[in-house]
Each structure stands twice: as C-alpha cells, then as structure tokens.
C-alpha cells in the first residue's frame, strides 16, 4: 500500500465533527463569501508622503483599522523596478532551496516529500514570503484533489487584504465595512480552510519603503518635466516685423515644429538655437534617485552591494554575510509556518504527514565537473574504489584491472 492509498483510507477515519465541517454546503459557503467580496479597483492616483502618513494613520486606528489606502500605496510603490529587483532577489534565494520531510529520526521520506514538490506548495511559499512586505496575509485552500495518482491541493489563493481585519480576526464583505460586521475566520468553516501568516498588526516592510519609493517616483516625474523644458535647445525667432498677424504666424510655426529640423518662416525672420546650460540638474536628480535606491536596498536586503555596485572585496564580503542572515531569517519563517501551521492543516485533511517535519536540505549538489574532479583526486590519491561504482554510473562493463607496465 503506497502513501496515496493510505491517504484515501485516512479520509475514512475523519471524525463526525470534521466530516460535518467538510460538507460541500459548508465549503461552497466559504467560497461564496469570497466570491461575493465587493472587490474594488485599486486607486492609482498620485501618491505623496502626506497621503502615506494619512494611510498609515488609518491602518493603525484602534477603533476601526483600515489598510485599504495604505495597500493602494503599496500597489503604487511595488512597480518600482529597483524595489522589484530587491524583492525578487530575496525571494529567489529562498524559493530555489531544496527541502525534505523527515521523520523523528531525521531520515528523509521521499513519498511524503513528493507531496510538497508541486505547484501549490511553490505558490504557498511565495505567499508566505510576500507577508514580509505586505504584512499579515490570509491564505485560503480548496478541497484536496487527486492528480496523476498523487493527492495535492489546488493552487492556494490570497484572501484580498483589503477585506481582512486581522486585528479582529474577521473578513468584511465591503472593504470599508466596520470590523463588527465581519465574519470570523479563526473559528467555524473558515478555520478549516485558511492559514494566517504574520502578526495581526504587522504592516510589512513596504511601510518603511514608501517614503523613498514615492520620493523617487516624484523625482523622476520632475526630471521628465525638466527634460521637456531644458532637454532640447531653445529656438528663438527674431523678426523686424511689427505686424501682430505675422508674429502670430511665426509663433505658430515654432510651436508646430516639434522635433523637426526644419521650419517655414516669413522673410527677414532669424532663427537662433540656444543650448541649455543647466547641466547641474543631472546631479540633483540623479543623486536623489541613487540615494532612494540605496535606501530601498537597505530596507529590503539590509545592505546594498548584492544588487548595487560595490567598492571593494572586503566590503562585498561583509554585505554578503548580512544578506545571508536575511535569507536565513526568511527560511526560518517558511520552516516555522510549514511545521506549525501547514502540516497540522494537512493532517486535518487526511494527508499522511503526522510525525514528519519540514527541513531545508543542506545537501551539497555537485556539478558533473565537480564530481569528475573528486573521482580524479580519489584515484590519483591511491584510494581503492569499487569498480561497480563506475560501471553503474557510466554504463561501462569492467572485466578486470590492467597492469599498464606489463
């Protein structure tokens, strides 16, 4: 009997209470509420530091905390390419790590580990890591399915953050509803299908990144405006004509030239091209944007040199150690959520994971070049190696040992 047969049998042992909770009517009730949430379009109006402070104040209001305005600002700053790169680098180092499910003796179980080597778990880990940036997150699961002979969850989804009031543990139908009108997701039907990640009052790292990201966005807009005014040479038309109509025609012609290198003007019109001398603006805007990027790197990565240019090997070594500590903390977060929340959640739904623990796999993975170098060192070092190793690995039949000095 394999692990999946045991999964099917385990579902037959559900308690009456759990079976009643898992009735299709209850599941559909949970789904219906999430579908009926009055999700509204993100507000993409121009944001500034004042709007950020007001949104922050609303999010920490004791009586009626509401993160909607703050989440709109998060959406605005999350498209910053430098910030995207920082977040992608940090998440990528965790997502690429190997893992294993081990029993109490520390031995890896390949069948249990295979349950997690699926798209649903990759998405779950991504959502867990997102909680670092957005703060508290509520992840919803669907009924387990069987796919290609393996039991697994469908892709989990994030309950829209604007409808979650973690301070009260409720979901509200309309994002501006008061918490008292919400539905408790920590008890009842929702508790069997949702996993919380992050502390109720956690607003995430994006809160600290907003000032630098907003300032950078506005500075880029100012620079664009400056470029429109001073980026092209100034064209000056001089005429001796006193006729208002003629002057109007010249002005119209100048305005319609655009980027054209020619123009048609009345006789006796002199056109002067005057280059802009405001070169100092480059330093003003560029240095401010660099400073904003540096602050964003420190906020997400706790250092700058793993994504920005460095100045020395010794400094880069220190920055790399700091970055490794950041990644280690993210790995710890994922490990704790999986062991303390996901595994009990899966066991409740009949997955055979009781008695197993999630661990990151620190086994060194060697490239073919590394393996060949190790083999060479062992052979030339005088160590005896079982010929069966080479026969099995390279498919070469070894009939005996030849003396090269015969």
Per-position DSSP letters for 185-203, written without gaps between them: SSSTTGGGTEEEES-TT--
* pLDDT attached to residue 315: 66
pLDDT in tens, 243-277: 788 778 877 877 777 666 667 677 777 777 766 66
Our count of domains for the chain comes to 3
**316 domain-assigned:** no
Rounded CA-CA distance 396/104 in Å is 40
**172 domain-assigned:** yes
**61 domain-assigned:** yes
Concatenate the DSSP letters of all residues of 275-344 into one string: ----THHHHHHHHHHHHHHHHHHHHHHSSSTTTS--S-HHHHHHHHHHHHHHHHHHHHHHHHHIIIIIHH
343 and 381 within one domain: no
47 versus 300: the higher-pLDDT residue is 300
81 and 112 within one domain: yes
Q: Which of 117-121, 320-324, 376-380 has the lowest mean pLDDT?
A: 376-380
Contacting residues for 279 by C-beta, under 8 A, at least 6 apart: none
Name the pTM for this structure. 0.74
* pLDDT attached to residue 275: 64
**216 domain-assigned:** no
Concatenate the DSSP letters of all residues of 385-403 into one string: --HHHHHHHH---------
* pLDDT attached to residue 343: 96
188 and 249 within one domain: no
341 and 380 within one domain: no
* pLDDT attached to residue 130: 96
**106 domain-assigned:** yes
168 and 238 within one domain: no
134 and 62 within one domain: yes
* pLDDT attached to residue 13: 45
60 and 46 within one domain: yes
Please report which confidence band the pLDDT of residue 240 belongs to, taking 50, 70 and 90 as the band edges.
Answer: confident
Rounded CA-CA distance 137/199 in Å is 9
- Average pLDDT rounded to a whole number, residues 142-160: 87
- Average pLDDT rounded to a whole number, residues 225-238: 71
Whether the predicted pLDDT of 7 surpasses 50:
no
For residue 171, the cross-strand partners are 164, 183
Helix (H, G, I), strand (E, B) or coil at 238: strand
What are residue 360's phi and psi, to 5 degrees? -75, 140
Query: Cβ(207)–Cβ(70) under 8 Å?
Result: yes
Please report which confidence band the pLDDT of residue 334 belongs to, taking 50, 70 and 90 as the band edges.
Answer: very high
- The token pair at 383 is 């160590």
* pLDDT attached to residue 12: 47
241 and 202 within one domain: no
Residue 120: give the domain boundaries: 3-208+322-360
115 and 13 within one domain: yes
* pLDDT attached to residue 32: 57
Query: Cβ(160)–Cβ(172) under 8 Å?
Result: no
166 and 72 within one domain: yes
What does DSSP assign to residue 45? Answer: S
26 and 103 within one domain: yes
């Amino acid at each position: 009997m394999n692990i999946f047969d045991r999964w099917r049998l385990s579902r037959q042992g559900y308690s009456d209470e759990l079976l009643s909770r898992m009735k299709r009517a209850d599941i559909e009730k949970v789904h219906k509420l999430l579908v009926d949430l009055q999700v509204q379009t993100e507000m993409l109006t121009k944001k500034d530091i004042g709007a950020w402070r007001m949104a922050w104040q609303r999010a920490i209001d004791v009586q009626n905390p509401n993160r909607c305005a703050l989440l709109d600002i998060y959406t605005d700053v999350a498209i910053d390419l430098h910030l995207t790169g920082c977040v992608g680098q940090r998440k990528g180092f965790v997502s690429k790590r190997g893992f294993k499910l081990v029993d109490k003796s520390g031995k890896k179980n390949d069948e249990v580990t295979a349950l997690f080597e699926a798209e649903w778990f990759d998405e779950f880990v991504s959502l867990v890591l997102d909680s670092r940036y957005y703060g508290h997150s509520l992840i919803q699961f669907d009924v387990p399915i069987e796919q290609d002979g393996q039991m697994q969850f469908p892709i989990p989804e994030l309950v829209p953050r604007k409808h979650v009031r973690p301070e009260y543990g409720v979901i509200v139908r309309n994002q501006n509803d008061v918490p008292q009108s919400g539905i408790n997701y920590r008890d009842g039907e929702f508790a069997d299908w949702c996993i919380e990640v992050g502390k109720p009052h956690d607003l995430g790292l994006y809160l600290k990144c907003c000032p630098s990201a907003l300032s950078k966005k506005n500075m880029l807009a100012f620079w664009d405006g400056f470029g429109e005014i001073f980026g092209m040479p100034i064209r000056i038309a001089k005429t001796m004509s006193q006729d208002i109509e003629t002057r109007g025609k010249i002005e119209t012609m100048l305005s319609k030239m655009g980027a054209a290198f020619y123009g048609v003007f009345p006789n006796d019109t002199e056109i002067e091209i005057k280059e802009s001398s405001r070169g100092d603006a480059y330093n003003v805007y560029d240095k401010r944007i660099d400073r904003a990027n540096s602050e964003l790197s420190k906020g997400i990565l706790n250092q700058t040199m793993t994504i920005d240019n460095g100045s020395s090997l010794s400094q880069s070594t220190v920055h790399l150690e700091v970055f490794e500590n950041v990644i280690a903390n993210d790995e710890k977060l994922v490990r704790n959520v999986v062991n303390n929340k996901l595994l009990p959640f899966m066991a409740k739904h009949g997955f055979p994971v009781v008695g197993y623990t999630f661990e990151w796999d620190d086994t060194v993975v060697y490239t073919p070049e590394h393996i060949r170098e190790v083999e060479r060192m062992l052979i030339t070092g005088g160590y005896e190696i079982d010929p069966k190793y080479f026969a099995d690995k390279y498919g070469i039949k070894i009939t005996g040992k030849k003396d090269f000095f015969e």
